[in-house]
Structure 1
Amino acid sequence: MSITTLNRLKMELNNKDYYPDDTLSIYLTENSLDGTETYDKATMQKNLYQTVYDVLDSLANNLDLFRSVETEFATTGQAYTYLQKRLDTLQSKILSIPDAAGTTDSQFNFMYHD
């Protein structure tokens, strides 16, 4: 079974209509993905998660739009807290996936380097 990167992005966003397909395709393009290509987890997962992160980050800057789609949040503070937790989780996932060269990014930086 094959799925396009655009449809896989929508799955990661729980099929919520935050943005129209053309806007989501722009986010995919910015992360070196094509919405019409068949999704390949082995080579596209990190970029897809980065795209999800970018979409959710844009929603964190527009909580009214987010709350218009996600109705379970009674307050803006609750919505913001949820988004921040989701962004933190996504960032951890992104950092744990090896890049094309086979290395993972680290959340830790060397304090001293000789």
Structure 2
Amino acid sequence: MTIIERLKMETKGFNYPDEELSVYLQENGLDPHAEYIPTSNANKKAIYATALALLESLANQPQLFKDYKFDDETVSGFGDRIQSRIDQLSRSLRMMSASDDSSSNGSTFMLFNS
């Protein structure tokens, strides 16, 4: 599986052209056509950062936030769900290790009080 294919898995339901996805991936330091390494924390973090950038770009399109009615049912709350996913991805990114170094097995928390 390539990195661009892995990004498409993360952003299912949003059909971005491959050229746009490639630009977003390159901005996050990834080669879209390189092989995806599932064990690489750096790859996974960069894919999540790219998905976050795509969702933030999507959130900047106000025409998508209107309510729709299909067969007597109203589809609404798109903006709330997008914002919820953006928040979830942001939290995940902050908690992920940025390196593939397996020598650090735990999280480090430091609190400084001045």
Query: Shorter chain as normaliser: what TM range?
Result: 0.7 to 0.9
What SS does the corresponding residue of 2:87 show, helix, strand or coil? helix
Q: Which has the larger radius of gyration?
A: 2
Decide which structure has greater helix share. Answer: 1
Q: Is the 8 A contact 1:96 1:105 kept in 2?
A: no
TM-score by length of 1: 0.75
Runs of 4+ in structure 1 off by over 6 angstroms are: 103-106
5+ unaligned residues in a row in structure 1: which ranges?
A: none
Do the aligned partners of residues 4 and 66 (structure 1) sit closer, same or farther apart at CA in structure 2, a change above 3 Å counting? farther
Q: CA deviation at 1:10?
A: 0.4
CA root-mean-square deviation: 2.9
**Percent of aligned pairs with the same residue?**
32
Decide which structure has greater strand share. Answer: 2
**2:27 is equivalent to residue 30 of structure 1:** yes
TM-score by length of 2: 0.75
CA distance in 2: counterparts of 1:112 and 1:96, whole angstroms = 22
The structure showing larger relative contact order (alpha-carbon pairs under 8 Å, at least 6 residues apart) is 2
**2:110 is equivalent to residue 112 of structure 1:** no
What SS does the corresponding residue of 1:41 show, helix, strand or coil? coil
Residue matched to 2:51: 52
5+ unaligned residues in a row in structure 2: which ranges?
A: none
Stretch deviating more after TM superposition (20-29 or 33-42): 33-42
